[in-house]
Structure formats: C-alpha cells, structure tokens
C-alpha cells in the first residue's frame, strides 16, 4: 500500500518525525534513526563551544543529504528570540543545502516546568516568520482555538502536544485533539496536523494515528528508552499500525456484545431419551 503525506509540497512516505536530542551517544542516535526509517529529523540551534569542543559534530552522524532537517526554536520564550533562532537555523541549513532550510519547528514556550507554548508569542512569531518566507510548523497546545488561529496565520502545519514534552503521558486530551483535527481539516483534508510531544510508547503513537493525525513527532520516548533502536522500530510499527487502522474504518463501539460466529446452526442442547 502506498501511503504518503506532504508538508509544504515535500512528500514523505514515513509518517514518523524523530528528534535527535537526548541520546546517550551520536552512534545510538544514528542507529535509532535507521531503525525508525524516518525521513525527517528535528535539530536544535545552540551556541558553538569556543573551548573544549570535542570535535564531534552531529553532522558527521546524520546526513543532511539524506534527511530533511527540521530546525527548532526550542528554549525560546518570546517571539523575538524565536525569530532570531529560526533565521540562524535557516542560515545553517542553507549552507548545507538541506531541503528543510526554510522550515522551522516553532516553539515559543511559556513556562520552563511544563514547557507548554505561550500562545500569544507563538502566534506573533508565526506571523513574522510566515511573512519572511518560512514554512512554519507550530508546536501548539491542544487548544482548538489557538490551532485555528495558527493555521489562519499561515502555519504550514499545526502540531499540538499530546501531553507535555518528554512526559511520556501519551494522548491526554483526545476530545480537544479531535476537535482540532475536525476543524483544521474541514474543507482542507490534506492540511497536515501532527502530534508533537508527550509520547511514551508505541501504543500512544498508534492511538494518535488512529485519530487521524498525519504524522507523529517524538524524541524522548526513543532516546531515553532502555533500548532506543528497538523502541524506534516499535514507534515505526506503531505509526504504521495506527495509520492502517485509521484508513480502514474502525467498528462502532457498543455497550453489548455482537457474536462473531453465526447464531443459526448451533448444535442442539437436547439430551436423548
């Protein structure tokens, strides 16, 4: 079965976007990316070390010609800083001739404990970056109203959190997330809506995909697993299983049973004389 989805005109056959942070080593990261069969990875922008640099660079372990890089603005708490961070990411990726150069996973956080987005600063940054030609993929809360506002502002994708970043709590608010899917895809079924953050294990991913999300973005659930490469494979399979189930049309839920075997032709319970 051929199944693909597009963001900003770029088509992916894998619906799993994987982060590159928090692995115990670059080697472990590379193994996990391989096992996931992802085609798109998130990456962060940070100050270059002026001293005691180890000389090991992430670019030696993740090939910019093979993966679309999705640079993030993680750690930014206001629109102005997020915009500067996005521009620096674009500059680096242009130098690498990476296809994700104009893309940004826009994070504008409101609180360091929950790492939940500041919706007002997020919307402001989205407007600025869209005007500057960025393809903006917005890390959002599960509020349907802000999701709608972000799409209206020109976001290329809205990516609500299933639960707080790195929490492993899975999909906590399926009702609001369902409203977001209904609303953003109404009359625009191809508009990509991605679940971003909170995944703990493969069933969380399958649940999100069964709901109709186009893709899942995750990092900690793989990077911090006891066996990251194996968990990465589990996530790939979870995405595929959930997507197949979504596309197959699940049965209605019912309070009562419905027999799977024919009710007619059951052998007699009578006892002979």
Binding site for other proteins (CB under 8 A): 19-23, 26, 29, 42-48, 50, 57-59, 69, 71-72, 74, 84, 87-89, 91-92, 94-96, 165-166, 197, 217-220
**Hey, what are 232's tokens?**
């990465």
The stretches of 96-227 forming alpha helices (DSSP H) are 119-131, 144-152, 174-185, 202-211, 220-223
Catalytic-residue membership of 105? yes
Q: How far is the CB of 43 from other proteins (least distance, A)?
A: 5
Q: How far is the CB of 50 from other proteins (least distance, A)?
A: 6
Q: How far is the CB of 253 from other proteins (least distance, A)?
A: 34
Where does residue 212 rank: exposed (0-12), middle (13-18), buried (19+ CB within 10 A)? middle
Give CA–CA dist 199/220, Å, rounded.
Answer: 8
Catalytic residue among 22, 49, 87, 105: 105
Q: What are phi and psi of 217, to 5 degrees?
A: -115, 125
What is the 3-state secondary structure of 107-129? CCECCCCCCCECHHHHHHHHHHH
In the bound state with other proteins, the residue whose beta carbon lies nearer, of 5 and 26, is: 26
**Cβ-Cβ contacts under 8 Å for 260 (sequence gap 6 or more):** none
Give CA–CA dist 109/85, Å, rounded.
Answer: 13
Q: How far is the CB of 262 from other proteins (least distance, A)?
A: 51
In the bound state with other proteins, the residue whose beta carbon lies nearer, of 80 and 120, is: 80
Q: Please answer whether residues 173 and 142 qualify as being in contact, where contact means their C-beta atoms are separated by less than 8 angstroms.
A: yes
Q: How far is the CB of 73 from other proteins (least distance, A)?
A: 10
Q: Please answer whether residues 134 and 102 qualify as being in contact, where contact means their C-beta atoms are separated by less than 8 angstroms.
A: yes
Sign (positive/negative) of CA torsion 63, 65, 68, 73? positive
Q: How far is the CB of 92 from other proteins (least distance, A)?
A: 5
Where does residue 130 rank: exposed (0-12), middle (13-18), buried (19+ CB within 10 A)? middle
**Residue bearing tokens 């809360």:** 141
In the bound state with other proteins, the residue whose beta carbon lies nearer, of 94 and 131, is: 94
In the bound state with other proteins, the residue whose beta carbon lies nearer, of 210 and 219, is: 219
Catalytic residue ranges: 105
């Amino acid at each position: 079965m051929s199944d693909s989805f597009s963001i900003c005109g770029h088509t992916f056959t894998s619906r799993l976007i994987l982060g590159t942070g928090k692995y115990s080593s670059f080697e472990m990261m590379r193994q996990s990316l391989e096992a996931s069969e992802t085609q798109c990875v998130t990456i962060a922008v940070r100050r270059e070390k002026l001293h005691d640099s180890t000389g090991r660079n992430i670019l030696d372990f993740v090939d910019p010609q093979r993966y679309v890089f999705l640079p993030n603005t993680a750690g930014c708490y206001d629109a102005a800083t997020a915009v500067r961070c996005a521009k620096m990411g674009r500059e680096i990726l242009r130098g690498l001739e990476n296809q994700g150069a104009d893309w940004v996973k826009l994070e504008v956080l409101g609180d360091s404990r929950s790492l939940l987005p500041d919706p007002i600063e997020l919307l402001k940054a989205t407007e600025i970056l869209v005007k500057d030609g960025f393809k903006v993929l917005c890390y959002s809360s599960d509020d349907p109203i802000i999701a709608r506002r972000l799409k209206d502002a020109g976001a290329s994708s809205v990516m609500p959190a299933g639960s707080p970043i790195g929490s492993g709590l899975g999909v906590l608010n399926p009702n609001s997330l369902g409203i977001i899917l209904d609303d953003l895809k109404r009359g625009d079924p191809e508009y990509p809506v991605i679940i971003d953050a909170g995944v703990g294990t493969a069933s969380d991913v399958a649940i999100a995909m069964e709901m109709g999300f186009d893709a899942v973005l995750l990092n900690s659930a793989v990077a911090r697993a006891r066996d990251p490469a194996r968990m990465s494979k589990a996530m790939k399979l979870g995405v595929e299983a959930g997507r197949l189930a979504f596309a197959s049309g699940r049965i209605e839920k019912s309070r009562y049973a419905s027999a799977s075997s024919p009710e007619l032709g059951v052998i007699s319970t009578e006892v002979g004389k």
